[in-house]
Chain A
């Protein structure tokens, strides 16, 4: 196994031995377990508010599996993305500030491989945790509501994972050029910018921003053209990762 392969294994071990796996995994698992339960309890909560405020009338639909799925995707695309960016923002800058990068990069591991391994392993970790979370959501939804169709949860989840790959690449890029805190801030700015851009028609149709817009449509089974957002998101992920590697290779440590 070459140097890159050995570093890849180290990255996987590091996720398993440090806070990243429990924190990220814990967040996703918490969403998976609480989403369907929260969806089931929301009408009861609203009714209790209604009874305490005479004159206030809510039209409360009967909750179902789709509400649990909406909860899962909403959590994933908001808090999940937020936590993921914060964690990825320290992936390179943390090694630089602690000094571990010096021992690694004075050995025959290229800085390009260093960055690519970081992105690949972090994305792999997120995929594994989200897949597990989705399965748990589906199982709890089945228990709570008696039905849990596959496509309605997996389609938006897979689309979100494509978007997550871009967010990880962006956070890694920021981490390659700035300290952790600044990298987290810049990563979040990029995330909010993409979310806002999704409200503009052309950006939603032809750019990665369209993926966030597509999530709710997929949840409700509405037709949507995804080819452009998917292709541009994949291309942007590769381009941003390459930019991170290029900028990091020019940086003095």
Chain B
């Protein structure tokens, strides 16, 4: 599959600060690609370069084969900035007509397209001037204007950040509905959004991509599965002796699990006394060996549950290390 967006060694510096450090990305055409990172990671800087608003100090990027900021790239893409700003004296319909006009779209085509876009973003019944809009309404209008040219590549900077839960759901559904037809590249720090709609994800931290993969591979590669265990007498041991050598119950179990090669992380649950939480790379082996380890310690196993690790945990694992 061809790439709609390719970035090679992209670097951007602001004085001594390196905002982007040799970033490489490949966004397949038709995919929904999440660009994830904590605040200040460099996501907005990246989008500013891709839209031609800023220049890179090194490296190169191609949007549908065209350099960022070129007339061809701009005519094939749609963009929503993190805080979209409009002419307050205009109305939504007028702004979309104006935005479409900048793409050279004929008036007749716009008269057909604009009402559909307003309907899509839930602004079809709003006739007031944009100056009186809430932040959420501006965000919705921002999404509509980014779609006015039916772009092949849609770039969204924090598209759900100003929306209420219902608005967020609508926008995510809209993004998901574009999959296969339009390439969507969106930055966010809301992990649940990425997990919900993205095919692929890149995690940016301190200007560098620390991971790029599809979400399932990413989870498999970085953490695999979580186990939750409760043993008889675990509460008293865990409550008092986590980390203490020679403890009984949960503390003994934590000590026993720490040396196993298939355990990457084990700790007492902070939310539920007596509960031990472990991250394991080989779930089948863990299911076989944990009951035996518990028995060897002379404990009884009350509970053994496994679950898939969330993207949030992967994110914290990758990004938290540098903080």
B102, A102: Cβ atoms under 8 Å?
A: no
Residues of B within 8 A of A104 (CB): 102
How far is it, in angstroms, between the C-alpha of A110 and the C-alpha of B72 when the chains are bound? 11
Residues of A within 8 A of B262 (CB): none
Residue of A nearest to B47 (CB): A106
Interface centre among B81, B85, B149 (most CB of A within 10 A): B85
Contact with B along A1-34 (1 / 0, CB 8 A): 1110111011001100110000000000000000
B104, A102: Cβ atoms under 8 Å?
A: no
Residues of A within 8 A of B310 (CB): none
Give 28 A-B contacts (CB < 8 Å), ordered by A residue: A1-B101, A1-B104, A3-B104, A6-B102, A7-B102, A9-B101, A13-B89, A18-B89, A100-B85, A102-B53, A102-B85, A103-B79, A103-B81, A103-B85, A103-B86, A103-B99, A103-B142, A105-B52, A105-B53, A106-B51, A106-B79, A106-B81, A107-B99, A108-B71, A110-B71, A252-B48, A252-B54, A252-B55
How far is it, in angstroms, between the C-alpha of A176 and the C-alpha of B41 when the chains are bound? 29
A107, B103: Cβ atoms under 8 Å?
A: yes
Residues of A within 8 A of B98 (CB): 6, 10
State whether the Cβ of B75 lies closer than 8 Å to any Cβ in chain A.
yes
Q: Contacting B83 at CB < 8 Å: which of A7, A18, A99, A252?
A: A99
Residue of A nearest to B94 (CB): A13
Question: What's the tally of chain B residues with a CB closer than 8 Å to chain A?
Answer: 27
How far is it, in angstroms, between the C-alpha of A247 and the C-alpha of B242 when the chains are bound? 63
Residues of A within 8 A of B136 (CB): none
Q: Contacting A3 at CB < 8 Å: which of B52, B77, B87, B102?
A: B102
Interface of A is mostly: helix
B101, A3: Cβ atoms under 8 Å?
A: yes
State whether the Cβ of A45 lies closer than 8 Å to any Cβ in chain B.
no
B51, A98: Cβ atoms under 8 Å?
A: no
Interface of B is mostly: loop
Tell me the A171-214 residues at the B interface (CB within 8 Å): none
Question: What's the tally of chain A residues with a CB closer than 8 Å to chain B?
Answer: 26
Residue of A nearest to B51 (CB): A106
Residues of B within 8 A of A18 (CB): 89
How far is it, in angstroms, between the C-alpha of A104 and the C-alpha of B145 when the chains are bound? 10
Residues of A within 8 A of B48 (CB): 252-253
B104, A2: Cβ atoms under 8 Å?
A: yes
Residue of B nearest to A113 (CB): B102
Q: Contacting B74 at CB < 8 Å: which of A7, A98, A102, A107?
A: A107
Residue of A nearest to B106 (CB): A1
Tell me the B98-122 residues at the A interface (CB within 8 Å): 98-99, 101-104
B256 to chain A, nearest CB (A): 57
With A6-B98, A103-B145, A252-B53 as given contacts, are A108 and B75 in contact (CB-CB < 8 Å)?
Answer: yes
Q: Contacting B102 at CB < 8 Å: which of A99, A100, A107?
A: A107
State whether the Cβ of B84 lies closer than 8 Å to any Cβ in chain A.
yes
The 6 closest A-B CB pairs, nearest first, are A6-B101, A99-B85, A17-B89, A107-B102, A252-B54, A3-B102
How far is it, in angstroms, between the C-alpha of A44 and the C-alpha of B72 when the chains are bound? 68
Contact with B along A146-178 (1 / 0, CB 8 A): 000000000000000000000000000000000
Residues of A within 8 A of B79 (CB): 103, 106
B55, A99: Cβ atoms under 8 Å?
A: no
State whether the Cβ of A127 lies closer than 8 Å to any Cβ in chain B.
no
Residues of B within 8 A of A98 (CB): 85
How far is it, in angstroms, between the C-alpha of A9 and the C-alpha of B87 when the chains are bound? 14
A14, B102: Cβ atoms under 8 Å?
A: no
Residues of A within 8 A of B101 (CB): 1, 3, 5-6, 9
A112 to chain B, nearest CB (A): 11
Q: Please give 20 more A-B residue pairs, beta carbons under 8 A apart, in addition to A1-B104, A6-B102, A253-B48.
A: A1-B101, A3-B101, A6-B98, A10-B98, A14-B87, A98-B85, A99-B81, A99-B84, A99-B85, A102-B81, A103-B84, A103-B86, A103-B99, A103-B142, A103-B145, A105-B52, A107-B74, A107-B102, A108-B75, A252-B48
How far is it, in angstroms, between the C-alpha of A110 and the C-alpha of B87 when the chains are bound? 19
State whether the Cβ of A109 lies closer than 8 Å to any Cβ in chain B.
yes
B123 to chain A, nearest CB (A): 16
Residues of A within 8 A of B74 (CB): 106-108
Residue of A nearest to B98 (CB): A10
How far is it, in angstroms, between the C-alpha of A17 and the C-alpha of B94 when the chains are bound? 13
Q: Contacting A14 at CB < 8 Å: which of B52, B53, B71, B89?
A: B89
Residue of B nearest to A1 (CB): B101
A117 to chain B, nearest CB (A): 11
How far is it, in angstroms, between the C-alpha of A72 and the C-alpha of B222 when the chains are bound? 77
How far is it, in angstroms, between the C-alpha of A253 and the C-alpha of B145 when the chains are bound? 19
Residue of B nearest to A104 (CB): B102
How far is it, in angstroms, between the C-alpha of A243 and the C-alpha of B59 when the chains are bound? 28
B84 to chain A, nearest CB (A): 6
